A and B are shown apart, each in its own frame.
Chain A
Amino acid sequence: MSLILAIIALGAIGLIAALLLYFASRKFAVHEDERIGQVGAVLPQANCGGCGFPGCAGFAGACVKAADAGSLEGLLCPVGGQPVMEQVAEILGMAVEASAPKVAVVRCNGSCENRPRLVQFDGAPSCKVQQMIGMGETGCSYGCYGCGDCVAACQFDAIHINPETLLPEVDEEKCTACGACAKACPRQIIEVRLKGPKNRRMVVLCNNKDKGAIANKWCKASCIGCGKCVKVCEKFEAITLTKNLAYIDAEKCKLCRKCEEACPKGAIHAINMPPRKPKAETPSIPNTQSTPNAPTQNVEPSKAE
């Protein structure tokens, strides 16, 4: 008898609990867009956070939201790269533009030698903190502070401060072009640029928008906005001069290296290119890359001073 009672009692409890659970699951059901799960399935699930979202689920949610808004632009899984983004785009019914691989480039060559420290900063080790004292340790208002906010921002251990130059250097193998360092830099020195054919590219390694005289005074390797590079590039129109600073459009650049020769301050660098063969017929042009020399007569500072 007691056995039957126990069975009835337990059965009743079980039934009531089951009913409760059923209604609870109905009442409190959370409706999730099923596409988030589908997108998540093609992601690497490394949860590295390199995309800037909290894990792969967060990124999947952001992708679905962006797709509803009309464009997947700016979203990139740095680990999976292009193939994964294509799959994501397919799931979400979007077209993803084939984008060439990119890499972060530090546009400052103000090493200790090129750009002497005038004062000494003493405080919390952060570029953004140093920014609050004004120009920083050197006379350049646009150059690298060297405190490593970019290093702290990098999830992939791909950027490090070189203790000799006090400038950050990008490890191109590890860099995923996620852009975290570019966002962290208070002076917008780091640019995420096209890697270029065979990783070869021409870059103006300077961010100084001051007039030529000031830029020239405080840094041996600064762009003084003389415009010579613009002239030699008339054919391709890849170089533009805005606010006393030359900029090379990576899509238009044909890697002819004429601008490198033309730059009187050695601010234009050819990256990953073989060293130049010494040309017998043009001995007057100094090898600007290896010796970013002090201003010569070629320098034409703008008329300000």
Chain B
Amino acid sequence: MKTFKIGGVHPEENKLSAGQPIREAQLPKQAIFSMFQHIGAPANAVVKKGDQVKVGTLLGEAGGFVSAPIYSSVSGKVSKVDVALDASGLRRMAVTVDVEGDEWEESIDRSKDLIRLSDRPELDAKTIVEKIKTAGIVGMGGATFPTHVKLCPPPGKVAECVIVNAVECEPYLTADHSLMLAHPDEILVGLQLVMKAVGVTKGYIGIENNKPDAIQLMTEKAKQYPEIEVVPLKLKYPQGGEKQLIDAVIGRQVPAPPALPIDTGAIVQNVGTCFAIYEAVMKNKPLIDRVITVTGKSLKHPSNLLARLGTPFSQLIDECGGLPEDTGKVIGGGPMMGKALLSLDVPMTKGSSGLLIMNDKEAKRAEVDPCIRCAKCVGACPMGLEPYLLAKVSELRDWDAAEQEDITSCIECGSCQFTCPSHRPLLDYIRLGKSTVMGIIRSRVAK
């Protein structure tokens, strides 16, 4: 069975909500739409206090090419256009809507019928990309890179295949898994749309072998499309990383930065993104909701919720049995790469794939011992770096050495810190070093 070649770790899976069907979450009383839900330029709010909005009304327009518009996921009245705390832990511009009823824009097709690509022969690549761009779709695995940018390869680079990332290698999370079980046909049509948009004839769906039911179902459904192949992958973290997935599925490695994944001829899209693309192109529905896994060992009912964007996390937790007494940490995303939340009142965004509640015992980091140079981090690093060294030079602020040791190649997967027997905060320091070195490189290029 295929997998990526360098490093990797095996975190405990803890997929508590596996097998739970997707449940629709209740409408929030108040929804908060951050203008910073994607990588790139923030969206610019186009509504003002007192405006009436419907589900699907434009709230913020894209602030540039690498940006995405933001739509309202509820109907009601805009009560505030001001800074608000978001999941990143910063106070940034957001639109708050007080919910009244559930009125949708008429252009959205809310029927459940499957529309195949053959039903819409008039769709061409340009229209598809344009629709994706208008719908505000971003990478829904968590990176939130605007999808239309990915579908427009820079001049000189040619796409050869599309890979759907259905790996979901993060422990605890099952959002993509449940989405595949619920909407396999829609995902396949979404993949076809992406393939048509970039003009390729080969599509892969990479699924880790801890989801045999999804592999079976997708293989079954993909039989009708000879150009699509389901690739079962050996369980290993971080297989869901874009570079690792390309390596695992087609056996090509992306060279070090500034090379891009497209240099291998592959375009990677998340399962959730494919589903959103299907809805945007075929149903005219902008990105206003997504599946999110709400989970945790102390939580009463770990679930997969289909929730409207902008719903406060606290409400999602209430729907799954309420916040447990012994909560120590709440994480937006998975335990390996997610971000710890400063407050539970922040809203979910386009990139929120999970909400993990850890009890106080799990939450505390163990005491730090001295580095014993065991080289386990070197063995675990999927990028072939030396995390112990990068952390050391970053701690000593030797940025030149950090750059020389390829710190910018780090994908921040956390395998090194996960495996460190001395419990050293390796990734804390590597992140510090990486962001500083990136800044130095940017200012050097600017000169």
Contacts and interface: CB of A to CB of B under 8 A. Distances in A.
A134 B90 contact: yes
Q: Which 5 pairs, one residue from A and one from B, show the smallest C-beta to C-beta distance?
A: A134-B89, A124-B428, A124-B425, A129-B428, A134-B90
B364 A122 contact: yes
A29 interface: no
A45 interface: no
A133 B432 contact: no
Contacts of A129: 425, 428-429, 431-432
A249 to B, nearest CB: 28
A3 interface: no
B91 interface: yes
A133 B342 contact: yes
B339 interface: yes
Contact of A135 (B82, B89, B395): B89
Nearest to B85: A135
A128 B432 contact: yes
Given A124-B428, A135-B91, A211-B83, 10 more contacts: A118-B342, A118-B343, A124-B425, A126-B428, A133-B89, A134-B88, A134-B90, A135-B89, A214-B83, A304-B82
B91 A141 contact: yes
B410 to A, nearest CB: 14
Contact of A123 (B88, B339, B425): B425
Q: Which of B85, B342, B435 has the most CB of A within 10 A?
A: B342
A134 B89 CA distance: 4
Given A122-B364, A135-B85, A135-B342, A141 B90 contact: yes
B432 A132 contact: yes
Given A133-B89, A134-B90, A135-B85, A123 B428 contact: yes
A214 B82 CA distance: 11
Interface of A: 118-119, 122-124, 126, 128-129, 132-135, 141, 210-211, 214, 304-305
Interface residues of B, number: 22
A132 B436 CA distance: 12
Nearest to B88: A134
B158 to A, nearest CB: 37
Contacts of B425: 123-124, 129
Interface in B195-252: none
Contacts of B432: 124, 126, 128-129, 132
Given A123-B425, A126-B432, A135 B365 contact: no
Contacts of B436: 128
Q: Which of A118, A124, A129 has the most CB of B within 10 A?
A: A124
B161 to A, nearest CB: 35
B365 A123 contact: yes
Contacts of A211: 83
Main secondary structure on B side of the interface with A:
mixed
Contacts of B395: 124
Nearest to A137: B342
A16 to B, nearest CB: 43
Nearest to A121: B340
A213 B363 CA distance: 33
10 contacts: A122-B364, A123-B365, A123-B425, A124-B429, A126-B429, A129-B432, A133-B339, A134-B89, A135-B90, A141-B90
A6 to B, nearest CB: 54
A214 B91 contact: yes
A146 B343 CA distance: 20
Contact of A133 (B82, B340, B429): B340
A124 B430 CA distance: 11
Interface string B104-148: 000000000000000000000000000000000000000000000
A147 to B, nearest CB: 11
Interface in B327-353: 339-340, 342-343
Contacts of B339: 133
Contacts of B363: 122
A15 B363 CA distance: 77
A210 B88 CA distance: 18
A135 B85 CA distance: 9
Contacts of B90: 134-135, 141
Nearest to A126: B432
Nearest to A134: B89
A154 to B, nearest CB: 14
B34 to A, nearest CB: 13
Given A124-B429, A129-B429, A214-B91, A134 B82 contact: no
A122 B342 contact: no
A160 to B, nearest CB: 20
A211 B83 CA distance: 10
A211 B432 CA distance: 29
Contacts of B88: 134
A268 B436 CA distance: 34
A119 B328 CA distance: 10
Interface in B86-102: 88-91
Contacts of B91: 135, 141, 210, 214
Nearest to B329: A122
Contacts of A126: 428-429, 432
